[in-house]
């Protein structure tokens, strides 16, 4: 993020010597006096002391601030090359804290928070500390984070443009930890995950529109494990999915319409389930038929049809579609058993047999 870049730059510039003025440099914003005597001075130990400035190669002021025996103090202002303010850092008296505000090119606030002034390898630098906030161009808060030793630590939240929470959770020294939650623009839940040391460990859930569950299960070391449930829009369990070491090993349909495909990609069957059993219309096909390329737009009918507004020789996107795949059988299930009239066909599409069933019991057959 931009305030990280600013922090890095600040750490460099507070220890770097001032670029000496060259002929033609713009010194209109420089302080009165002479560098080295009235500003940009050092103490008896060679540490920066008093007012300091640094400039861009063209002489434009980059920052202006003060030091106390090498340690930044008071108010610092950073500028862009065009003269607009980039950021302001105010060091608090008698403590190591500094409040910071970062600005966009148009002058609006992008971030604000607090630094801790620390000494690393003999040089003074600044680490993020405590609460930091990020704002959009309209002044709406979009992110709240907490830091310790320049590392994310504590509560974190991001926000939709309408002010409602988008995501919230906790960091433990840079790693996600505990329960993380996501929400839609209306404040309804969209997901939750349990994290431990930067990995998903524990229960997880994804919601569909309206806050109803879409899937639920558990993670172990960031991979799905055990039984997961998927749900239909009406909230009923759609299927039970089993994972082993992150690999899907089985799926048991429960409620809703399902289908299966041959390795060739052709449809194998389509049917409806209720309470874990086939219940309703069922159709299966032979692994035969021709693939044709069709225009990707819905409703298109002729293969390789040119698009009305296309340039010459330019073809629209295509999709693959199966044609002339012969049906194998068709009928209905009730609570997992055949019921009613079933029809069977040969590979040429001719009807070869009709059966009549009553709740799993064959009543008659017509060849």
What CATH number does residue 70 fall under?
A: 3.90.930
Q: 143 and 270, same structural domain?
A: no
pLDDT at 17: 39
253-279 pLDDT per residue, tens: 999 999 999 999 999 999 999 999 999
Range of the domain at 48: 2-152
pLDDT at 235 over 80: yes
Is 204 a domain residue? no
Last residue of a domain, one of 129, 152, 175: 152
CB-based contact 340:324 (threshold 8 Å): no
pLDDT at 52 over 50: yes
Out of 83-97, 312-326, 345-359, give the one with best mean pLDDT: 345-359
Is 67 a domain residue? yes
User: How many Cα atoms are found within 13 Å in the side-chain-facing hemisphere of 202?
Assistant: 12
Average pLDDT, rounded, for the chain: 89
Is 100 a domain residue? yes
pTM, two decimals, is: 0.78
Give the span between the Cα atoms of 295 and 304, in whole angstroms.
6
Residue 139, class by beta-carbon neighbours within 10 Å (0-12 exposed, 13-18 middle, 19+ buried)? Answer: exposed
Name the domain count of the chain.
Answer: 2
Last residue of a domain, one of 118, 152, 186: 152
Q: 16 and 148, same structural domain?
A: yes
pLDDT at 298: 56
pLDDT at 344 over 70: yes
Is 338 a domain residue? yes
The least confident of 28-37, 58-67, 266-275, 312-321 is 312-321
Tell me how far the alpha carbon of residue 229 is from its chain's centroid: 23
Q: 135 and 6, same structural domain?
A: yes
17-44 pLDDT per residue, tens: 344 444 467 788 888 888 888 899 999 9
Joined tokens for residue 147: 């830091």
Is 90 a domain residue? yes
Q: Please give, one letter per residue, the 3-state secondary structure of the chain.
A: CHHHHHHHHHHHHCCCCCCCCCCCCCCCCCCCCCECCCECEECCCCCEEEEEEEECCCCCEEEEEEEECCEEEEEEEEECCCCCEEEEEEECCCCCEEEEEEECCCCCEEEEEEEEEEEECCEEEEEEEEEEEEECCCCCEEEEEEEECCEECEEEEEECCCCCEEEEEEEECCEEEEEEEEECCCCCEEEEEEEECCEEEEEEEEECHHHCEEEEEEEECCEEEEEEEEECCCCCEEEEEEEECCEEEEEEECCEEEEEECCCCCEEEEEEEECCEEEEEEEEECCCCEEEEEECCCCCCCCCCCCCCCCCCCCCCEEEEEECCCEEEEEEEECCEEEEEEEEECCCCCEEEEEEEECCEEEEEEC
The radius of gyration of the chain from alpha carbons, rounded to an integer in Å, stands at 34
pLDDT at 299: 52
pLDDT at 30: 87
Per the model's pLDDT, the better-predicted residue between 37 and 244 turns out to be: 244
Mean pLDDT in residue range 38-66: 93
92-141 pLDDT per residue, tens: 987 899 999 999 999 999 999 999 999 899 888 999 999 999 999 999 99
Give the span between the Cα atoms of 121 and 117, in whole angstroms.
13
Q: 271 and 134, same structural domain?
A: no
Q: 263 and 126, same structural domain?
A: no
Is 236 a domain residue? no
Is 215 a domain residue? no
pLDDT bracket for residue 305 (50, 70, 90): very low
Is 266 a domain residue? yes
Q: 147 and 6, same structural domain?
A: yes
Last residue of a domain, one of 135, 152, 169: 152
């Amino acid at each position: 993020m931009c305030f990280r870049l600013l922090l890095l730059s600040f750490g460099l510039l507070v220890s770097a010597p001032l670029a000496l003025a060259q002929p033609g440099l713009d010194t209109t914003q420089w302080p009165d006096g002479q560098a080295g005597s009235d500003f940009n001075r050092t103490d008896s130990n060679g540490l920066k002391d008093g007012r300091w400035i640094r400039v861009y190669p063209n002489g434009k002021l980059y920052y202006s601030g003060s030091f106390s025996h090498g340690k930044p103090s008071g108010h610092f202002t950073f500028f862009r090359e065009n003269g607009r303010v980039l950021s302001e850092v105010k060091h608090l008296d008698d403590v190591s804290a500094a409040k910071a505000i970062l600005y966009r090119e148009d002058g609006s606030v992008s971030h604000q928070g607090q630094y801790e002034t620390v000494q690393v390898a003999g040089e003074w630098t600044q680490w993020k500390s405590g609460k930091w906030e990020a704002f959009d161009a309209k002044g709406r808060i979009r992110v709240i984070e907490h830091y310790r030793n320049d590392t994310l630590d504590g509560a974190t939240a991001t926000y939709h443009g309408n002010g409602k929470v988008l995501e919230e959770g906790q960091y433990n020294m840079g790693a996600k930890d505990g329960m993380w939650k996501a929400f839609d623009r209306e404040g309804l839940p969209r997901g939750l995950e349990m994290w431990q040391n930067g990995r998903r460990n524990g229960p997880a859930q994804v919601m569909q529109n309206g806050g109803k569950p879409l899937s639920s299960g558990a993670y172990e070391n960031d991979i799905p494990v055990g039984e997961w449930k998927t749900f239909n829009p009406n909230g009923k369990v759609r299927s039970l999915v089993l994972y082993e070491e992150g690999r899907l090993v089985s799926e048991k349909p429960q409620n809703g319409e399902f289908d299966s495909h041959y390795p060739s990609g052709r449809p194998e069957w389509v049917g409806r389930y209720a309470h874990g059993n086939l219940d309703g219309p069922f159709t299966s096909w032979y692994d035969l038929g021709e693939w044709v390329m069709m225009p990707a737009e819905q409703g298109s009918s002729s293969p390789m049809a040119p698009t009305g507004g296309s340039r010459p020789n330019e073809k629209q996107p295509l999709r693959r579609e199966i044609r002339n795949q012969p049906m194998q059988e068709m009928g209905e299930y009730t609570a997992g058993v055949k019921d009613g009239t079933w029809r069977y066909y040969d590979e040429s599409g001719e009807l070869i047999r009709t059966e009549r069933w009553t709740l799993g019991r064959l009543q008659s057959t017509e060849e």
